[in-house]
Structure 1
Amino acid sequence: MAKLKLRGKDLRQIGYPEGPVISIAMNIMQREFKYSTKEEVMELLQKILKAPVEYENDAVLGLIAQQLIPKEAIAGNVIELNKTGVPVNIFGSGAIEQQALLQMDQAARLPVSVSGALMPDAHSGYGLPIGGVLATSNAVIPYGVGVDIGCRMCLSVFDIDPKSLVQREHYFTTILNENTLFGSGQQFPKPADHEVLDSHLFDEIAILKQLQNKAAKQLGSSGSGNHFVEFGIVTIDEKDEVLKLETGTYLGLLSHSGSRGMGASIAGHYTKLAKEKRLLPKEAANLAWLDMNEEEGIEYWLAMNLAGDYASACHHAIHAKVAKELGQQPITMVENHHNFAWKEMVYGLEGGPQELIVHRKGATPAGKDVLGIIPGSMTAPGFIVKGKGEVSSLASASHGAGRKMSRTAALNSITQNALNEILAKHGVKLIGGGLDEAPHAYKDIEDVMKAQKHLVDTVGTFYPKIVKMDGTPPKPWMKRDGE
């Protein structure tokens, strides 16, 4: 196989600025990715250019990213973290890695922090850890929300005998294959027509204007990694007054994905602005915030909410296509999102309740009687839950089982035979998906649910049976650890 060859001209054509970054990038890519295709490497270089803060801590790519991040032109000294942090309640602490605990401690010591919580599915990320919940005073942290803004779960429940998933497996497999689209950068040939794309914000906020056309072509698609669309069996053991489903078994369609390239671009752009305005110690740099009274903070808030609406529209488009193929409408839907920030009244604080900005990165709202679904893995059950509004968790719960193994570790330690065995054991058909998403890489969802029994009540269960994920082999940079 021919070794990779790059020219400075190649990097300039995709927007790399003149300077040392070009020679540094060429050297690193030709050394570390010498057997990758030029197309793969150029795609990675574009990703680094678009959101360098995502890669600045990467052991290999960080040097390129650091050249692209503007040097903070801030008068005055570094904003120091407080010596002691605000209260943080941790759920399931025994199964949470040390790095995630350290990241939560840093977030708790920000001058704008008021209260925090860490969910039992937590693991390390950029800025806030995945599973981190942070309430701040009049400040929003782009990397406290995350890259895939508004990522969510959406469940449609159909009054169809779930036995048909086995009896007509080919039929349901075909429905998933023909009505979903997966993969980083993937888009439909024709742009979608949806009211979310008509928002006036696309004309009023410069970064959004640049994203509108691609967003139209990606609406109704899903990303890579842990995103999925799957058929399964919904079981209701006892009728719940909020869910309002009779006892029995149903056919369910469950999807997990977010705001596609739109959310990532918004996150990268406003994190850069936040870091230019507020210089924090290096270890906490990704926790830079925007004030809600300043133009950038207001813009980010509007863009974030639009990205959340867009993510929801993507799910509804998928579910509408599948419902049409099935020939019936769902009898109910459950939808909940994470990677978002909310303005909420927070209780249990010294001095009384306050309206704060509550960031939930890889954590979902669990207010009193708020419905949601917490998935396990491609073979483990998901749980339809009802929030208890627990003050100590900032009315939050986990967004899933959470990884116990990085993608790199999973690819290096899990075999295809091991994956095939566990799929067969649970009677699950997998379309696409790789070893980095094998059930072995995730925490035990039963343990996670036990750790948050004071946060949510289980009102139903979802058992995956036909699972569709991105079938593209992981690209070189996707094998690295990260969010």
Structure 2
Amino acid sequence: MSALKLDGKTLRSIGYPQGLVIRIAIEVIEEHYAGYTAAAATALLQQVLADPEAYAADEKLGKIAAELMIKEDPRIVALRAEPVEYEVFGSDFIDPGAIRQLQNAVRLPVAVAGALMPDAHQGYGLPIGGVLAADNAVIPYGVGVDIGCRMCLSIVDLPVDSLTSQHDQYRRALEKHTKFGAGAAWKQREADAVLERNEFREIPVLRNLLDKASGQLGTSGSGNHFVEWGIAAISDADNEWQLPPGNYIALLSHSGSRGLGAQVAGHYTRLAKELCVLPGEAQHLAWLDLDKEEGQEYWLAMNLAGDYASACHHLIHKRLIAAMGATLLARVENHHNFAWKEIHHGKELIVHRKGATPAGKGVLGIIPGSMTAPGFIVRGKGETTSLQSASHGAGRQMSRTKAMAAISGEELSKVLADNGVTLIGGGLDEAPGAYKNIHEVMAAQQQLVEVAGQFWPKLVRMADGGPAED
């Protein structure tokens, strides 16, 4: 059996500050706890980090505790001793790291309630699939880097069999009228009301982003972002669009606010960390007070980025629908990286959904599966314990690195062929096997949403691999 090995990256991921304390912690673990598993050693170090004073007199761990106490910043805002109420849905297939991240979040002084969706996995700040209601405070990393990342489904009047008979035309439309990846931009720019917004002139961080936003309008990100032609099956006879139940051609897209949102997120995350110093394990959850200028500024910039993301989807759909000579019959869309002002627990709260779909009573949304698994058109049930939220997809069960090592190109090609799916772009990191079973995820949230229809991808356009922007 090989000796236990921990590295600085692991310690930093659980909140240890960069510096001498990391070397001391690794030396102490290797000398005194070599028989521990990596998980057990990491958990022990988290306990020391959370309360170094409790270990100050410990013969072995005291060295780590002493260094942590020396380095402790007097400005640090203490977390609550006990968490506020929270609920976890689908806990049987959520990794422990995501649950620990939520547990940190619900100990924030501004936290009122939290929830974790069944597609959850570890991220920064809030876990992906995390929901947090806060009192008059907004957490930039509670929204995420890709502000306004969202879904948009358009149902059109084309015959279903045209997906086969006009396959090449659908493919050419995707290739011509979409652009993907970091930095992707159109040479010929289109006007849109969102580009005329006052925020681009009034908020300093946005002033230099207008040109980038103009060029990237109507483009998509990398990673798990996509535009797909497929078949929407409407199962609900009493639907909001007065469409007869049956199968329809539909266009589904997933992307966010591109470079604009990433720049806004980075700027205000740094600012929040300067103004709100938190313990190491919670440092990415720094918040901005909405009664102060910085909080109000981020709120305006966040909403602009969300509207920009929406405009991107609408332009993509407009181009593709026109290219196929179709007419729009119905549309369903929703953000899943955003913060909203909502009434919960009898008061207005800031509800952060980082990779979670709004699911208020009667609210429509889209929960995608994978490129070979169905997505779901859902109607929210307004469940209070989930803060009226649901999952934003199937959720990853493999990291990108693990997926690329475990799944071959031949395996991906076979599963695509078996499911009748044409893939343009994409990478092994987005192979269907990298994702959880969407049917298990949906079963775990039956009290959160009801299904109004499904969407089956048939032609999928993605970037050519690389890191995600959400």
TM-score normalised by the shorter chain: which range applies?
Answer: 0.7 to 0.9
- Cα distance in structure 2, aligned partners of 1:143 and 1:162: 41
C-alpha contact (below 8 Å) 2:14/2:281 kept by paired residues = no
CA distance in 1, matches of 2:410, 2:74: 58
Equivalent residue letter for 2:370: S
- Which position in structure 2 is the counterpart of 1:274? 272
Give a deviation string over 1:109-162, Cα, whole Å, max 9, x none. 000000011000000000000000000000000000000000100000012222
The residue aligned with 1:153 is 151
Q: What's 2:316 paired with?
A: 318
Letter in 2 for 1:383: F
Give the aligned partner of residue 336 of structure 1: 334
Q: 1:240: Cα distance to partner?
A: 2.6
CA distance in 1, matches of 2:256, 2:113: 26
Give the AA of the match of 2:90. Answer: G
| Equivalent AA in structure 2 for residue 290 of structure 1 | L
* Distance (Å, rounded) in 1 between the aligned partners of 2:106 and 2:306: 25
**C-alpha root-mean-square deviation of aligned residues, in Å?**
1.8
Distance 1:433 1:255 in 2: 14
Q: Contact between 2:239 and 2:452, CA under 8 Å: does it hold in 1? A: no
* CA distance in 1: counterparts of 2:425 and 2:402, whole angstroms: 20
- Find the aligned partners of 1:316 and 1:338 in 2 and give their Cα distance: 16
Q: 1:373 is matched with which residue: 354, 360, 366?
A: 366
In the aligned structure 1, how far is the partner of 2:323 from the partner of 2:117?
38
Q: Distance in 2 between matches of 1:376 and 1:130?
A: 15
Structure 2: which 5+ residue stretches go unaligned? 1-11, 20-71
The alpha-carbon deviation at position 243 of structure 1 amounts to: 4.3
CA distance, structure 1, for counterparts of residue 412 and residue 73 of structure 2: 54
Measure how far apart 1:210 and its partner are: 1.1
Alignment partner of 1:419 is 2:419 = no
Residue 395 (structure 2) pairs with residue 397 (structure 1): no
What is the one-letter code of the residue matched to 2:444? A
Task: Give 1:239 deviation, angstroms.
Answer: 1.3
SS in 2 for 1:319: helix
Equivalent residue letter for 2:284: N
Q: 2-side partners of 1:449 and 1:425: how far apart?
A: 23
Q: Counterparts of 1:161 and 1:237 in 2: how far apart (Å)? A: 18
**Aligned partners of 1:456, 1:174: CA distance in 2, in Å?**
36
Q: 1:259 aligns with which of 257, 260, 265?
A: 257
| Residue of structure 2 in register with 1:38 after alignment | none
* TM-score normalized by the length of structure 2: 0.84
In the alignment, residue 162 of structure 1 is paired with which amino acid? V
**TM-score (structure 1 length as normaliser):** 0.82
Find the aligned partners of 2:310 and 2:361 in 1 and give their Cα distance. Answer: 22
Distance 2:460 2:228 in 1: 4
Question: Which residue of structure 2 aligns with residue 208 of structure 1?
Answer: 206
The residue type paired with residue 464 of structure 1 is P
The answer to whether the 8 A contact 1:240-1:459 is kept is: no
Match of 1:192 in 2: 190
2:134 is matched with which residue? 136
Partner of residue 439, structure 2: 446
> 2:219 aligns to what?
221
Aligned equivalent of 1:108: 106
Distance 1:315 1:190 in 2: 17
Cα separation, 1, equivalents of 2:406 and 2:446:
32
Q: How far, CA to CA, are the matches of 1:58 and 1:233 in structure 2?
A: 43
Q: CA deviation at 1:58?
A: 11
Structure 1 residue 459 corresponds to structure 2 residue 457: no
Moved runs in structure 1, 4+ residues, more than 4 A? 56-59
Tell me, in whole angstroms, the C-alpha distance in 1 between the residues paired with 2:83 and 2:13: 24
- Per-residue deviation, 1:75: 8.5
Among all aligned residue pairs of Structure 1 and Structure 2, give the percentage whose two residues are the same amino acid. 58
**What is the number of residues matched between the two proteins?**
405
1:87 — aligned with what? 85
Gaps of 5+ in 1: 1-55, 64-73
SS of the aligned residue for 1:392 comes to coil
What do the CA deviations read for 1:407-435 (whole angstroms, capped 9, x no partner)? 01001110011101110111000000000
Question: Letter of the aligned partner of 1:142 in structure 2?
Answer: P
Deviates more, 1:263-272 or 1:319-328: 319-328
The amino acid across from 1:360 in the alignment is: R
Per-residue deviation at 1:84? Answer: 0.9
